[in-house]
Structure 1
């Protein structure tokens, strides 16, 4: 087991004045042997942050540390951080057999004999509940759920200490999503892996994670134990995500949310001053003119002093409406 830590990580694309800061000074820890769910709407920077851990996104500032060592100093082929991508159709080479794809991901020098590699391929396929007879097939002959299992076995072939799972069920049919999620959670526990699980679906993140981190417009706005964040969210954006998640009683939105639901999301190239959520916030200056501090002062600077590290000047305020939850 290993700890993965993002230390003030920033990712910026483009030129100084016209570029986009996709991730802005994010600090987040994935504790050893635990699952951290990273949740947020599309475009929040979740996948970009996750990809920095495996070298797929350039780090403009800060560091990504594995047990205190910068991951960029480690050889990519033998790097103990592996990633399962969103779409298995694009992550597997259609011209390579399943067995060849899995063997390619094995650490260099681990299995010098072909027979030993074949045995390991069969073991990895069985680990994800696929028969060893699939090794000779091409990806195109498998279903989407089966291809995602192959992608998972390919990640495990690298003998990782940390696995990054990026929206691994969003391209799958609803009928197979649960089976893949349960398999992923079982393997994490059995192999004692640390995992960063990325999703826009709060219900899925709640099922998978020990801790939840909520990301909005390139920043972490709340983080804490899963049930604490889901049942007692301290940031208004987290509350909106909770309200939007399916529950036994339906999706119950408070009047404040309905009043600001039509507000256009801000331009990530030019984020709002102060709190980045304030133009859409149901308890911010859009609804209460006396709360101009949300426009003038960035709450991220003092987030560590608030419950769940919430980047909100009024985190836990009595003004936050109580809402029904699952």
Structure 2
């Protein structure tokens, strides 16, 4: 088990005049042996942040640390951080058998000899509830859920301390999502892995995660233990995400005019000054008089002094939140 920490990480593409800051000064810790759920809208920077940990997105500033060591200084030959991607088909070479794809991820020098490699491939396939005989088939001969299991086995073949799962169920049929999530939870607990689990589905995050971080327009706006954040959200954006989550009851009571909350997200090339959520905030300066500070001052300053580190000048108080519907359609209590 290892701790993964993003220390004031920023990722910027393009030049200063026409560039885009996809991740802006994010600090986030995945504790050893814990699952952290990272949620937010598409385009909020979740996947970009995750990709910095495996070297697929360059870090413009800040550091990504594994047990206090910059990942750029880790010894070669083993990759202790592995990633499972959203599309299980594009992440596997269609011309390689799944056994070869899994074996390709073995650390250098591990499992020497054909017999040892074949045995380890079989063990990993059994770990993800697939028949070892499947090692000889091609990805196109498997279902989407089976391919995602192979992708997980391939990530585990690298003997990681940390696994990053990026929307791994969003491309799957609803009928198999629950089975894959149960598998991920069981493997994580069995192996004691640290995990960053990215999703836009709060029911999934509630089911899997010990901690949750909410990301909006490149920044973390709220973070804390999952039960506490979902039971008592402090940031209006978190409240809006909860209101949009499937539930058997009525959505969370609106805290402002619907016309404000439904405004299109700002252009990430030119984010708003002050609180980036203020043009859409149902309790912001466009709705409540005397809150002009939201348009001028960065709410992340002093966030560590607020509940859930909420990046909000006027954090919300406790209010009733209906249960989020779980994967079987039953309401899941959030308190």
Q: TM-score range by the shorter chain?
A: over 0.9
What pairs with 1:188-203 in structure 2 (closer than 5 Å)? 188-203=188-203
* Contact 1:244/1:253 (<8 A) preserved: no
The answer as to 2:102 corresponding to 1:102 is yes
Moved more, 172-181 or 247-256: 247-256
Q: Deviations over 1:72-113 (max 9, x none)?
A: 122565110000000011000000000000000000101120
Measured in 1, the distance between the counterparts of 2:269 and 2:128 equals 41
The answer as to 2:8 corresponding to 1:11 is no
Counterpart in the other structure of 1:208: 208
SS at match of 2:102: helix
Counterpart in the other structure of 1:236: 236
Counterpart in the other structure of 2:288: 288
Per-residue deviation, 1:226: 0.4
Counterpart in the other structure of 2:322: 325
Structural RMSD (CA):
1.2
Per-residue deviation, 1:253: 4.5
Per-residue deviation, 1:259: 3.3
Measured in 2, the distance between the counterparts of 1:75 and 1:250 equals 53
Q: Deviations over 1:13-34 (max 9, x none)?
A: 0111110000001000000000
* Contact 1:97/1:139 (<8 A) preserved: yes
* Contact 1:77/1:105 (<8 A) preserved: no
Report the count of equivalent residues. Answer: 323
TM-score (norm 2): 0.94
* Contact 2:250/2:322 (<8 A) preserved: no
Cα distance, 1:55–1:77 mapped onto 2, change above 3 Å: farther
What pairs with 1:296-311 in structure 2 (closer than 5 Å)? 296-311=296-311
Counterpart in the other structure of 1:22: 22
TM-score (norm 1): 0.97
Measured in 2, the distance between the counterparts of 1:45 and 1:178 equals 26
Q: Deviations over 1:109-155 (max 9, x none)?
A: 01120110000000000000000010000000000000000000000
Counterpart in the other structure of 1:131: 131
* Contact 1:10/1:21 (<8 A) preserved: yes
SS at match of 2:23: strand
What pairs with 1:138-217 in structure 2 (closer than 5 Å)? 138-217=138-217
Counterpart in the other structure of 1:277: 277
The answer as to 2:245 corresponding to 1:245 is yes
SS at match of 2:37: strand
Measured in 1, the distance between the counterparts of 2:73 and 2:262 equals 46
Q: Which runs of 5+ in 1 are unaligned?
A: none
Measured in 2, the distance between the counterparts of 1:261 and 1:323 equals 19
Q: Deviations over 1:29-64 (max 9, x none)?
A: 000000000000000000000111000111000000
Per-residue deviation, 1:323: 4.4
Per-residue deviation, 1:263: 1.2
